[in-house]
Amino acid sequence: MTEYLERIGVEVVFGMCGHSLVQVLDAMGRSSINYVSCRHEQLAAHIADGYARVSGKPGVVLTHVGPGLTNAVTGIATASLDCIPMVVITGNIQSYCHGRGPHQEINLHADNDQIEMCRPICKRVYRVGRADDLPRVIERAFHLARSGRPGVVLVDVPMDFFSAELPVGAFMQAPSPVAKPSIEQGQARSIAEALAKAERPVIFAGGGIHLAKASAELQALAEMLDVPVAHTLMGKGCLPDGHPLLLGTTGYWGQPVANEMCRNADLILAVGSRFGETDSSSWDPAYTFDIPKTRLIQIDISEEEIGRNYPAELGVIADAKQALAAIVIAAEGLRPAARPAQRAKIRDGLAAFASNWTEQRISAEFPLRPERVIADVRKALPKNGFIVTDVGWNKNGVGQQFAIHEAGTMITPGGMATMGFGHAAVLGVKYAAPSRAAVALIGDGCFSSNMSVIATAVEANLPVVWVVMDNASYGVISGIEKRHLGGTYGCMFEADGEPYFIDYAGVANACGARGVKIESAGQLEPALREALASGKPTLIQVPVQLVPTPTTGHWDINVIFKKLAD
C-alpha cells in the first residue's frame, strides 16, 4: 500500500501511532513518504486539512482503532463541511476477532462498529472486508475524495490485512482523471446577457471559488460586465481587497454596503455558495438577501445546493472555473447597462465602515485592541503569505477588516466553525508551501485546547507563527451571554476568582520553539517580523481587550436568549 501511495503522489501522511498501524509505519519508514507524528488525532486531521487547502492534493490521515479514530472525528467533520479532499485510513481490530471484544473494539450496537460514527460526516465510508480488496478500496478513496464536490473518504482496515502478502501488481490502478462538469453554451450566453441588462446585479462568491481556483475568471467577468462582487467568509480573497468592484463580506459580520447592495439587487449570480446562516443574516429578507424579490441564478458543483435556501430561476451544476470561463467568453461584445454611481457607492461605503475602527488600528492601548492586532499582522505578513484563523474575534475580524491580496491565502474553518482548527491547520499550510509565510491568528481558548501542536511543529521543523490573542476567555460567547443575560458564567478562565492567564510563551520555549510575550502595543509588529525571519516555530502571546467584533447584519440566535428572573 505504501508503494502505491508513493506512486499516486502522496508526499506526507499525518497521524499518530497505535498497535493496529505498526506494519504500515514500518513500511512508511522505508519509503519516500514523510510521516508526521501529530501527538493527537484531531491535530492530525486539522493539519492534513490545512495541507489539502493549499496543495490541492488530498490530505492523508492515519489513525489507530477506537480512540484514535474518535479523536479525529472533529477534524474529519471540519474538512467534510468545507469540502476539503481527505483520505482517512484507520486501523481496526483483527478481522477474525469481530464481536469478541478484542482490545479497543467498538461493539456496543454492532460488531466492529467504529465506522458508523463517521458515516454522517464523510463523503463515503469503506470497510475493507478482504485483504485482496484493499487495492481497489484505496484507489476508490482517492478517486472520490477529489472528484465532484470534494470531501473526506474513510477507509477502515483490519490490522491483519496490513500484514497480508498481496500479489505483485495488486496496486496497479491509479485514480482516473475526471473531467469536471461545465455549462451549456446557451446557458452561459443567457447568464451573460442577464448580467449585462440588469440595473443592480451582484455576483455572490462562496468558498467554491477557491476550491475551483476560479478567482481569475471571476474577476474577468466582473470587470467585463461591471458587476459588483460580494462574498461569503469562505469566499474572501476571491478578488483582491481594494478592487473597485469588491463589496466585501455579507451577513452578520459583513460590510454594510455589501448587505445593502445584495438586498437591493435585481439579479444575483451565486457561484459556489451554500447561502449559509451567518453569511445570509439567518435568511431574514430585511438584512442581506431578499430572494425571490431578487432574481437568483445559482452555479454549484453539487446539485443539492441548488435552491436549498433560496429559489433559483436557473440552477447550473458545474465547476465554478469552467462555468465562469464560459460566461466570460459569452459576454464578449456585450455592453452592460449604465451603472454610473456604483463604484463610488462601493468606495464610500467601505470607507465609511472602516472609519469606525481607524483609531483602534493604531491605538497604543494595552492590553491591545483586537483591531490593532489585525492591523499589525497585516503589515508584517507578506502579500502572498497565509493567514490562518480559528474562530472568534480572529476569524470574524479577519473576514471584516483584514485585507487579502492573493486568492487562497485566508484559511479558516467555515461550515463547522471549529475551535482548535487554526493552531493546527497552519502546520499543514506551511508544509504545503514551505517558502511562504504562514501565521495563525488565534485565541487563547483555541491554543489551550491542545498545546502539543508546538512539539509537532518543532519535530517537523515547520517555522509557523502563532499569534495568540489572550484575554482569558472564550470571548465571543462571553460577549453573547453578557449582552443578553448580563453575565459571563462558564466563559471565563479563572482561578480563585481571578482571571487565569497561562504563560503560553513559556510553554513554547519549554517545547523548543520561540516564545515571545508582548508587553506594549508597539512591540507586536517588530516581533512578528522577527518571528517570520527566524526560521523557527514562534508563539507570540498578545494580551488583548475583551471587546466585541462589530456586527452589521442579523443572527437569529440573538432573539432566542431571554433573561430569567432571579
CATH number, position 450 = 3.40.50.970
373 shares its domain with 509:
yes
Q: Copy the grid coordinates of residue 431.
A: 508544509
Please indicate, yes or no, whether residues 329 and 421 belong to a single structural domain of this protein. no
The identity of residue 509, as a single letter, is: N
Tell which of 163, 196, 213 closes a domain.
163
In a domain, 420, yes or no: yes
The three cell numbers locating residue 511: 517545547
Report H helices in 35-168: 41-55, 67-81, 134-146
Q: Are residues 153 and 246 in the same domain?
A: no
**Residue 553 maps to a domain:** no
Q: Which of the listed residues 96, 129, 163 is the one where a domain comes to its end?
A: 163
Helix axes of 393-401 and 475-485: crossing angle, nearest 10 degrees = 90
189 and 301 part of one domain: yes
Strands 538-543 vs 514-517: parallel, antiparallel or unpaired: parallel
**3 state SS for 478-547:** HHHHHHHHCCCCCCECEECCEECCCCHHHHHHHCCCEEEECCCHHHHHHHHHHHHHHCCCEEEEEEECCC
For 523, residues 6+ apart whose C-beta sits below 8 A from its C-beta are none
In a domain, residue 536? The reply is yes
The answer to the question of residue 116 being in a domain is yes
Q: Is residue 564 part of a domain?
A: no
Q: In one letter, which amino acid is 520?
A: S
Q: Answer whether residue 225 is part of any domain.
A: yes
The answer to whether position 312 is within a domain reads: yes
Same domain flag for 337 and 399: no
The answer to whether position 509 is within a domain reads yes
CATH number at residue 284: 3.40.50.1220
Do 127 and 260 sit in the same domain of this protein? no
Q: Looking at the 3D structure of the chain, how many domains does it have? A: 3
Q: Are residues 364 and 440 in the same domain?
A: yes
Say yes or no: 295 and 333 in one domain: yes
Last residue of a domain, one of 133, 163, 193: 163
Same domain, 392 and 531: yes
Q: What are phi and psi of 559, to 5 degrees?
A: -105, 0
Half-sphere exposure of 459 (CA within 13 A, CB side): 12
Joined together, the cell numbers standing for residue 551 give 456586527
Are 221 and 255 members of one domain? yes
Instruction: Please indicate, yes or no, whether the overall pTM of this predicted structure exceeds 0.85.
Output: yes
Strand order in the sheet with 438-443: 410-411, 386-389, 438-443, 465-470, 538-543, 514-517
pLDDT in tens, the chain (566 residues): 999 999 999 999 999 999 999 999 999 999 999 999 999 999 999 999 999 999 999 999 999 999 999 999 999 999 999 999 999 999 999 999 888 889 988 888 888 899 999 999 999 999 999 999 999 999 999 999 999 999 999 999 999 999 998 887 888 888 988 889 999 999 999 999 999 999 999 999 999 999 999 999 999 999 999 999 999 999 999 999 999 999 999 999 999 999 999 999 999 999 999 999 999 999 999 999 999 999 999 999 999 999 999 999 999 999 999 999 999 999 999 999 999 999 999 999 999 999 999 999 999 999 999 999 999 999 999 999 999 999 999 999 999 999 999 999 999 999 999 999 999 999 999 999 999 999 999 999 999 999 999 999 999 999 999 999 999 999 999 999 999 999 999 999 999 999 999 999 999 999 999 999 999 999 999 999 999 999 999 999 999 999 999 999 999 999 999 887 76
Q: Does one domain contain both 319 and 341?
A: yes
Determine the structural domain holding residue 86 and report its residue range. 2-163
Asked whether residue 403 falls in the same domain as residue 505, the answer is yes
